[in-house]
Structure 1
Amino acid sequence: MKKIIQCSSLKVLVLLLILLGSSEIYAQYGYGNNGYGSRGGYGYGRQRSSIPQAQTPAEEPKPKTAEELVDGEMPRITEALGLNAFEQAVLSSVLKKYVQERIEAQILKLPPEKMAEVYENITKRQDEELKAGLPLEKYEAFVALQKDGVSKTIKKKNKKKKKEKRKKPKN
């Protein structure tokens, strides 16, 4: 009888060692799929850091340069005024020069009275240079464009074209 008890206690001991050993292996090496976790990754699910992640503030967009501002508006201005390549080049270069001066004046952050005086001076010099470089009708159209805005000028131009098409008799 002692032999049977010794034999069965030995079996129980071996069984207990196998069960404890297998749970240890199971806990240490994951679930068996791909070796380390079921996603083929490195762990046992989503890993979280104990260090909180700081929210980085979004970078403020850099202010556009004078060239970028003028180049962005030139196609619309050209369409509104019907400029040829030479007139477009003259207008573009003059605008870039004086837009740059306006940007520099803004950077100085002068008092409002002084700023108005500086802007008026810049506008006066810009107008003189544009008068010298553009034909009179194009210059006047540009001045009207500045007063009305590009969108209104394009709409007016389109209305004129529609009226002219209506007036022409069809043959």
Structure 2
Amino acid sequence: MKKAIKFSGIKFFILLSILFGSSEIYAQYGYGSGGYGYGGRGNNGYGRQRSSIPQAQETQKEPEPKTAEQLVDGEMPKITEALALNDFEQAVLSSVLKKYVQERIEARILKLPPEKMSEVFENITKRQDEELKAGLPLEKYEAFVALQKDGVSKTLKKNKKKKKDKRKKSKN
């Protein structure tokens, strides 16, 4: 009888070691299909899990409108390059533009009827032109007026063409 008890104790010990050993292997190598997380069969529990609860999407905030100072500061490098302004002329032009761009923004906020709005804008433009005439040399003022008509990119292209033509003439 003692033999049967010993034999049962060994069986118990072997069974216990197999259970502990298999849980170690299972924990170390994942689910056992491929090992090291390489699942050879479709969806084996790895990867991104989807939730059945719908997620609320955040409404995107409208970007805040730029201030007159931000608008003018963003355009001044291009204008300075196109008109070849010195520091004093750049400061005069910048301050005048900021002042009148701010007035235009305020006029838009009022949401006046179209005929009244155009009258207000004409008045603002007239005062801006008078102030720029007084603050800038005549050729720079005329260049600025042409810049407003043509746009910055066209004026820059014209300036580049003029420089190329001067180089060609000086070489010949």
TM class by shorter-chain length? 0.7 to 0.9
TM-score, length of structure 1 as denominator length? 0.72
Q: Measure the CA separation in 2 of the matches of 1:115 and 1:162.
A: 43
Match of 1:8 in 2: 7
Residue type of the partner of 1:8?
F
| CA-CA distance at 1:123 after TM superposition | 1.1
Match of 1:75 in 2: 77
| CA-CA distance at 1:128 after TM superposition | 1.3
Residue type of the partner of 1:141?
A
CA shift in 2, pair 1:54/1:31, >3 Å? farther
Segments of 5+ residues of structure 2 without an aligned counterpart are 30-35, 38-44
Residues 120-167 of structure 1: CA deviation (Å, up to 9, x unaligned): 221111111111111222111111110011111122222223333334
Q: For structure 1, which segment, 13-22 or 111-120, has the greater mean C-alpha deviation from structure 2 after superposition?
A: 13-22
Match of 1:105 in 2: 107
TM-score, length of structure 2 as denominator length? 0.72
Alignment of 1:4-83 (within 5 A): 4-22=3-21, 30-31=27-28, 53-83=55-85
C-alpha root-mean-square deviation of aligned residues, in Å?
Answer: 3.3
Residue type of the partner of 2:28?
Y
CA shift in 2, pair 1:49/1:165, >3 Å? closer
Aligned residues: 159
Q: Give the secondary-structure state (helix, strand or coil) at the position aligned to 1:4.
A: helix
CA shift in 2, pair 1:112/1:22, >3 Å? farther
Match of 1:127 in 2: 129
Question: Once the two structures are aligned, what percentage of the paired residues are identical?
Answer: 66
| CA-CA distance at 1:23 after TM superposition | 5.1
Q: Measure the CA separation in 2 of the matches of 1:102 and 1:116.
A: 11
Q: Give the secondary-structure state (helix, strand or coil) at the position aligned to 1:70.
A: helix
CA shift in 2, pair 1:26/1:56, >3 Å? farther
Q: Measure the CA separation in 2 of the matches of 1:169 and 1:5.
A: 114
Residue type of the partner of 1:67?
E
| CA-CA distance at 1:20 after TM superposition | 3.7
Q: Measure the CA separation in 1 of the matches of 2:97 and 2:46.
A: 60
